Amino acid sequence: MRITILLTCLLALALAFAANATGETTVTDGTEMVTAECGKCHGLDRTCAILGNKTPEEWTALITRMGEKKGGFSAEQIALISGYLAEAEPGDPAICE
Ligand code: HEC
């Protein structure tokens, strides 16, 4: 009996971990977020054209504005995307090629 309870607990823990891990990949990967979210309505060329030209605050403002066109990005998505783009070099191969 005890063993069954213990195994059930372990299984629940493993499932919680797996769910958390998959959730995180989509949320923490800036490159993936940009290619998935910022190429939906227009090409990434618009974004690539201005890499290196904006302060982190300007990126945050731009991404907030883009999000508003489709019902809003979450604060986490905005932080992640603007953080990535503010660091990216002009012509960043991960999103511009
Ligand atoms: C729901 C559609 C939509 C999504 C999603 C979207 N955009 Fe836009 N974007 C537009 C439209 C429409 C314009 C032109 C009008 C304007 O500038 O507001 C535009 C214009 C732009 C411009 C040129 C204007 C400027 O101020 O430099 C850039 C750069 C840009 N988008 C980047 C992005 C980035 C980065 C993302 C991802 C976070 C994104 N867009 C997601 C619709 C979208």
Q: Among 35, 42, 87, name the best residue to mutate to test ligand 1's pocket (greatest count of ligand atoms within 8 A of Cβ).
A: 42
**Per-residue pLDDT reduced to its tens digit, 66-86:** 999 999 999 999 999 999 999
**Per-residue pLDDT reduced to its tens digit, 4-25:** 554 554 455 454 555 445 444 4
Give the DSSP H or E segment for 50: none
Q: How far is CA 95 from CA 10, 35, 69, in A?
A: 40, 6, 21
82 ligand 1 Cβ < 6 A = no
Q: What is the pTM of this model?
A: 0.79
Secondary structure of residue 20 in the 3-state scheme: helix
φ, ψ of residue 66 in degrees (nearest 5): -65, -45
42 ligand 1 Cβ < 6 A = yes
Q: Where are the domains of the chain?
A: 30-96
Of all protein residues, the one whose alpha carbon is nearest to atom 33 of ligand 1 is: 38
Domain 30-96, what fold?
Answer: Cytochrome Bc1 Complex; Chain D, domain 2 (1.10.760)
